[in-house]
Homo-oligomer: A and B are copies of this chain.
Amino acid sequence: MSEPKQLHLTAFMRPVSLHTGAWRYPGSYPDANFNLKHITSFIQKLEAAKFDAFFMADHLAVLNMPVEALKRSHTVTSFEPFTLLSALSQVTDKIGLAATASTTYDEPYHIARRFASLDHLSDGRAAWNIVTTGNPESAKNFGLDEHVEHSERYKRAREFYDVVTGLWDSFADDAFIRDRESGVYFDPEKLHVLNHKGDELKVKGPLNIARPVQGWPVIVQAGQSEPGRQLAAETAEVVFCSPRDLDAAKALYADIKGRTKAAGRDPNHLKILPAALIVIGDTVEDAKNKRLKLDTFVHYDSAIASLSIALGSDATGFDPDKPLPADIPETNSSKTSRLGVIQLAEKDKLTVRQLAQRLGGYSGLAFVGTPETVAEELEKWLAEDAADGFTVTFPFLPQGLDDVAERLIPELQRRGIFRKDYEGTTLREHLGLPRPKNQFFG
């Protein structure tokens, strides 16, 4: 009898709750997003609960919302991911450290170097969440007037990935001899100069840092659009996605795993972890009430701003008590997001106000119930090939995280679908991913 398929869990930690009202929830830490002591205690609890990784989202601008909404947002001040995760590497031993980094507004030499450095500092726990940066305000912080167009961003991302992984392979794993006697520090035969010259990028190399502990840090991909899925199939080892429900998740899972196989890769070497809000209560009713209470902390101004961002169009002129207008234009900023919002409004027959409030809080996939009912749902998703695990979002901190760590995790362990201890020391080992061979020194 083989062991049942195992869940993989990462904790999605920016803002500290994705739910915009969370900082106002009784008992929460209003400054948790920007308080290192709190974040340290969160990651240490997640490590005690044997989570695969701590996952930092990121933005390269203050979110583009009207000031009346912005002033209510706990996202306006956050730590930068590399500095935060490097600090956290010193107060943890095993949990993975996933950082979001943009291929649109950064340079591959910098990105390759920072992830290699984080991987060495953490003894092999780094992961790169490759994003092309959806927020159009970012362009204005990097010398541009207009956001880089969607397909152009993905073209650069694909080439950027080749350059970064090529730079990681600059030195063979055994290049450094450090022979005091002969005075030879490394074997120059084991140094590869990349000399990349492509349509988008020109990078000579080599990187000035040894090959990462994991060979390559784990590659995470968050897109769900057509080019996003294809990029994931070709490059990703973890996919972070947002299916609406079980059927959508199964379809997405089959599609991405199929593309992965078609790209010549082992589908088991790509883990699909849908994002999910998990709310635990003493009863299902109690959990639902917690979520309802949480939603009451979302201000309508923020809610309507969230709707505008998700649609890529200004929603402030819409009639709040009518359905969403039919003629919302497709824009450059976020195709997948716009379509999801329109589908959600239709499916649940929501007015603009209801839709805005839903989006202003948290509108994605949610599991709301007791430890037993939630564990049962997660097990079903796992068994039915809808997911290899989840990218978990907590409703409010610290209580929402404690509920998952102390009540849900033991139930998952009892069912034999989640580890009781880490099997190895690197994030690749936690995720059951192979260490890539060096493409130049096999």
**Neighbouring B residues of A105 by C-beta, 8 Å:** 107
Is the beta-carbon distance between A83 and B137 smaller than 8 angstroms?
A: no
Most buried by B among A31, A75, A183, A299: A183
A367 within 8 A of B: no
A328 within 8 A of B: no
Contact of A137 with B80 at beta-carbon distance under 8 Å, contacts A23-B178, A24-B183, A180-B30 already known: no
Is the beta-carbon distance between A70 and B183 smaller than 8 angstroms?
A: no
**Neighbouring B residues of A201 by C-beta, 8 Å:** 143
- Interchain nearest-CB distance for A368 vs B (Å): 23
**Neighbouring B residues of A209 by C-beta, 8 Å:** 34, 77-80
**Neighbouring B residues of A71 by C-beta, 8 Å:** 184-188
- Interchain nearest-CB distance for A217 vs B (Å): 12
A366 within 8 A of B: no
Is the beta-carbon distance between A83 and B188 smaller than 8 angstroms?
A: no
A437 within 8 A of B: no
A70: nearest chain-B partner, CB-CB: B188
Is the beta-carbon distance between A61 and B208 smaller than 8 angstroms?
A: yes
Contact of A117 with B84 at beta-carbon distance under 8 Å, contacts A107-B142, A137-B204 already known: yes
A91: which of B30, B79, B90 is its contact (CB, 8 Å)? B90
Q: Tell me which residues from 169 to 213 in chain A have a Cβ below 8 Å from any Cβ of chain B.
A: 171, 176, 178, 180, 183-188, 191, 201-210
The 6 A-B residue pairs whose C-beta atoms are closest, nearest first, are A86-B86, A140-B204, A80-B117, A90-B90, A30-B178, A83-B117
- A-B pairs with beta carbons under 8 Å apart, 25 shown: A21-B183, A30-B185, A31-B178, A59-B208, A60-B109, A60-B208, A61-B208, A62-B207, A76-B186, A76-B191, A77-B176, A77-B186, A77-B208, A77-B210, A78-B209, A79-B120, A80-B117, A82-B82, A82-B86, A82-B114, A83-B83, A87-B87, A109-B141, A141-B205, A143-B202
